[in-house]
A and B are shown apart, each in its own frame.
Chain A
Amino acid sequence: MKAKYLIGGLIVTVFVVIGLISLDGGTIAYSDIQTARSTPGFVKVKGSWIKENGADYDSEHDIFTFHMRDSTDHMIKVVHNGPRPNNFELAESIVVEGRIENDILQSRHILTKCPSKYEGNTMRDPSAYAPAAGEGNSES
């Protein structure tokens, strides 16, 4: 009976220790661009793509480049190793995992947060869905 609990307790202890060890280096914090600039390691930065500045994929070097803006209105250039992610244009926000070197966010992973639908108080361009064309302003 004693040995039973001893073995069980031992296993649990071992895994709690392992869990705590893997926790170190196993986690990654979210941060804004300003904080990320002063962080040496990897962080996750949430923001949105600055559409006006465009986005470019260089297939020779397999690099995707664009600019992003975070909620505090800071901007940064993002260089991502890999192609344009699926749903990139649709994404209402993106989360870039990477680190900042020479004021460039070197990304190793991009998460596109795509609204599977448009949520808002107004219908997106209701004229596109309107039943009767020619009512009011038909030029669009």
Chain B
Amino acid sequence: MFGQILVNFLFASAIVSCGAYFLSWRDNDVMRKVGRSFMLVVFGGLCVVLGMLVYNIFQHDFSYYYVYNYSNTELSAPLLFATSYAGQEGSFMLWTFLVSLIGVCMLPYVRRVGYESHFMSFYTLALIFLLLMMVAKSPFQFVWEHFASDPNVYTGFEPQNGRGLNPLLHNLWITIHPPILFTGFAAMTVPFAFAMAGLARREYTQWIRVSLPWTLFGTAVLGFGIMLGGFWAYETLGWGGFWAWDPVENSSLIPWLVCVALVHTMLTQKQTGGLVKTNFFLAVSAFILVLYSTFLTRSGVLGDTSVHSFVDPGMFAYILLIGTMIVFGVLGFGMIFRRIGELGKGAADFKLNSREFIIGIGSMLTLISAGIVLFGTSYPLFSELIVHTKVAMQVSFYNTSHLLLAILIGVVNAVSMLVNWKVTGKALFFKRLRLPLIMAIAATALVVAFGWQDIPYVLLAFASFLSLFVNLDLLIRLIASRPDKIGAYVSHIGIAALFLGVIATSRYSVLDHARLVQDEPTEVLGMTLTYQGKREIDKQFKDREKYEYLVKVQKNGGEGVVKPILYWSDYNQRKSAFLEPGINRTFVQDVYVSPKAVEIQGSSPTAAVHKFEETPFPFDSNVVVTLQRFDMTSAMQGGGPDLRMGVELTFDTPDSTWSEVIYSTRTVDNLWRYEPYQVPGTGYYVALREIKPDRSNLANSEAVLSFADIDRAETLEREVFSVEVSTKPFINLVWIGVILMVAGFGVAIVRRVKELEPRGKKPANPVGAAKPMPQVHDAPSFESESSGDESEAGKA
């Protein structure tokens, strides 16, 4: 109750904050203080709201529908925390919270750069819409409110346990991936608000400078979040790969690609004064695309085309999401259109051999990629609207188009690093190109010799190598003298490594199906795989049975063990197992083993016996067993749902006679798990398979025994573990690539933040004025020099 009221109050506070900030545009300090105070109220309130939700979850207060629906008492603390955003309501809350958190962090910054009023006006406007969504989708609804039509659920009803979290989500990644992704999403609000502030203040250049570090931050975080999702899919979910062009993946990729382009066009404007309109357009687009992404993934419109779960959020949220997109679209693009006449002034003329032109081409290619993904992802939606049949995009659509795009991006990146801003001489360009080109050709020849034969992939490999060596060359020259400037090179090396990793894993992965009989080495893909048996893990949890299936992988003398997992959970009443892959990692390649099924092979002869009946062993009549009594003492002690029962058997051999109690456990699902007993001095086994009680006369109950002989293979019941085995050559390049890329962004952020700090005034070079390019080391730096040449051309 209190939670809902607080959310409503915060919504109202955001409106007040936004309104006050708008009123403070004409330097009204009082209004600015009001806006700021209410912004802090919103942030503080969201902390409380989030804290309340987390508290309810940790208290297992299942009278709250959200808590009941996503958590249960069996979840560990990190997973309990993760349930606070596992559901739709919670994920909106996390997003809103992060937007407010970033907003509060921005406050001192925007005050320092003198953008507070305008920036915060638009920033809080975005908060209003997010809070409105929270008003509509509150995580503080009670179960009896949700199940209002169910007479069994009366007011005050508190379920004893919750529904829990899908076992596929029970891992570390759910605690990391969504918060990082949402931080990236939330950070996209910043360039948008700066762009709007720039338009409002008619400052078409300054906003680039102040917004650049934050745009870099958002791009880095979002990129990292996307990669973590890919890693999760690969490592745990067993999708076989890290990227499947699934709508959910695509929908976060689209704004990211736009942001990557934006980072480059912002740099270009900062350096040359050009691309003013482009930057406004892209900053607004990135934000709208984040909203669109949310709409695609949260409204359920693409429900049938994605592996992710969606739930219809209801008509109100659906309309609200569309409404938000329209409002910000009209506002953003409308503002640009209103100022369009002023924006064109002073646009620089790019020379074909200038860096700005090549970067422009690169940004365009990135935007084309975004456009293709946007088109493909939205296609089912529009095909349904227009021709009333739902049509989905196949993976081949994205792969085909991106193969060529990636080749061009690789080459363009290499070239852009070799040319200077403004203009570059031919001789200089070729001189810089020579070494990296030779190395790229050599490396490409090497991979061709190793068997990469498809021409498009060879071309992509060449483009990636060229980009790699060009950037590496420059990185080595710069790292000692200007380590603060290496960000771009590190990022581009990362992208090149990513491309190479993608070629290797996607094109040169091999795959086979194998049935691994326990303890029998099996040849698969030139490796020897041996299934060695299973081991139960996570035993402390009562709601699951989780087994690691140990498979030994031997190849070329090397050896490793992979541990795919079969996970039986109460979540689906243990009807079938959740499957997680096992991965044998080496630097060169991963061996990826996806479990498929487990069966029992072989059958041992059985015999139904009653008390005092003598039964000879089926394959050796010299050994005779007699059932003496039923032993239920273990069953009394356990207390759990499983019953461990035993029978005392007498063994008679020509040499001796002895007694032994053998056991079997009946599980809740009426499955018997038996503990075979080896007859000493022989290879014979006997096991209690089942006890069939005679309810009228318990003494007359029947025990089913089974017999096995180690020399008769057909009597040995062995598990057959069916798996899909694939190799993932150089998949590490994918992860390393993305991490380098993010690290490069990190370096760049530090540099751009430092640039903003006031220091000794340098004479500003007006744009267009020719100035000598510094030719230290003969290497072009990504920025020609310090930030002194900021163009003010666009300023009205």
Contacts and interface: CB of A to CB of B under 8 A. Distances in A.
Nearest to A114: B309
A55 B342 CA distance: 67
Contact of B401 (A11, A18, A57, A114): A18
Nearest to A35: B389
B397 A23 contact: yes
Given A8-B361, A114-B309, A126-B159, A59 B397 contact: no
B401 to A, nearest CB: 5
Nearest to A15: B368
Contact of B513 (A25, A62, A121, A122): A62
Nearest to A111: B307
Contacts of A7: 352, 361
Nearest to A26: B397
Nearest to B349: A1
Contacts of B68: 129
Contact of B599 (A30, A59, A122): A59
B62 A129 contact: yes
Contact of A27 (B152, B391, B515, B594): B391
Interface string A73-88: 0000000001110111
Interface string A97-140: 00000000000000111111111011100110111000000000
A60 to B, nearest CB: 7
Contact of B722 (A3, A62, A117): A62
Given A25-B396, A117-B311, A121-B150, A59 B596 contact: yes
Interface string B358-374: 00110011001000100
Contacts of B379: 27
Contacts of A28: 391-394
A69 interface: no
Contacts of A26: 376, 393-394, 396-397, 400
Contacts of A60: 515
A122 B400 contact: no
Contacts of B396: 22, 25-26
A32 B411 CA distance: 46
A114 B166 contact: yes
A89 to B, nearest CB: 4
A84 B147 contact: no
B86 interface: yes
Contacts of B163: 117-118
A28 B309 CA distance: 21
B160 A131 contact: yes
B290 to A, nearest CB: 22
A89 B69 CA distance: 19
Contacts of B596: 57, 59, 62, 82-84
B178 interface: no
Given A12-B364, A116-B166, A18 B404 contact: yes
A36 interface: no
Contacts of B87: 116-117
Contacts of B62: 129
A126 B161 CA distance: 11
A44 interface: yes
A127 B364 CA distance: 59
B597 interface: yes
Interface in B559-607: 571-573, 575-576, 578-579, 594-597, 599
Interface in B728-784: none
Contacts, number: 169
A87 B168 contact: yes
Nearest to A125: B152
B394 A126 contact: no
Nearest to B379: A27
A19 B392 contact: no
B676 interface: no
Q: Is the interface of B mostly helix, strand, loop or mixed?
A: mixed
Contacts of B168: 86-87
B304 A89 contact: no
Nearest to B72: A129
Interface string A36-61: 00000000101000000000010110
B368 A90 contact: no
A111 to B, nearest CB: 6
A76 B62 CA distance: 41
Contacts of A3: 352
B141 to A, nearest CB: 13
B92 to A, nearest CB: 15
Contact of B309 (A27, A113, A123): A113
B400 A131 contact: no
A8 B161 CA distance: 60
Interface string A1-16: 1011001100110010
Nearest to A24: B397
Given A116-B166, A129-B62, A30 B391 contact: yes
Nearest to B408: A11
Contact of B392 (A1, A27, A115): A27
A57 B391 contact: no
B153 interface: yes
B785 to A, nearest CB: 25
Contacts of A25: 394, 396
Contacts of B599: 59
B55 to A, nearest CB: 20
A130 B158 CA distance: 7
A68 interface: no
B149 interface: yes
A33 interface: no
Contacts of B166: 87, 114, 116
Interface string B498-539: 000000000000000101000000000000000000000000
B69 to A, nearest CB: 5
Interface in B304-337: 304-307, 309, 311-312
B722 A123 contact: no
B541 interface: no
B706 to A, nearest CB: 23
B346 interface: no
A15 to B, nearest CB: 5
A46 B304 CA distance: 8
Given A22-B400, A26-B394, A27-B394, A116 B311 contact: yes
B350 interface: yes
Nearest to B567: A86
B309 A115 contact: yes
Q: Which of A8, A15, A27, A117 has the most CB of B within 10 A?
A: A117
B375 to A, nearest CB: 7
B722 A89 contact: no
Contacts of B198: none
B70 interface: yes
A116 B392 contact: no
A83 B595 CA distance: 8
Interface string B110-146: 0000000000000000000000000000000001000
A121 B304 contact: no
Contacts of A126: 150, 152-153, 159
Given A8-B364, A119-B312, 19 more contacts: A18-B400, A22-B396, A25-B396, A27-B397, A28-B394, A29-B391, A30-B389, A59-B599, A59-B720, A83-B722, A84-B597, A87-B166, A88-B576, A112-B307, A116-B309, A116-B311, A126-B159, A129-B159, A130-B152
20 contacts: A1-B349, A15-B404, A30-B389, A31-B389, A44-B304, A59-B515, A59-B597, A59-B599, A86-B168, A93-B304, A95-B305, A113-B303, A115-B309, A115-B311, A119-B312, A121-B150, A123-B147, A123-B150, A126-B150, A131-B159
The 7 closest A-B pairs by CB, nearest first: A26-B397, A83-B596, A129-B159, A59-B722, A30-B390, A116-B309, A122-B150
Interface of B: 62, 68-70, 86-87, 143, 147-150, 152-153, 157-161, 163, 166, 168, 237-238, 303-307, 309, 311-312, 349-350, 352, 357, 360-361, 364-365, 368, 372, 375-376, 379, 389-394, 396-397, 400-401, 404-405, 408, 513, 515, 571-573, 575-576, 578-579, 594-597, 599, 720, 722, 724
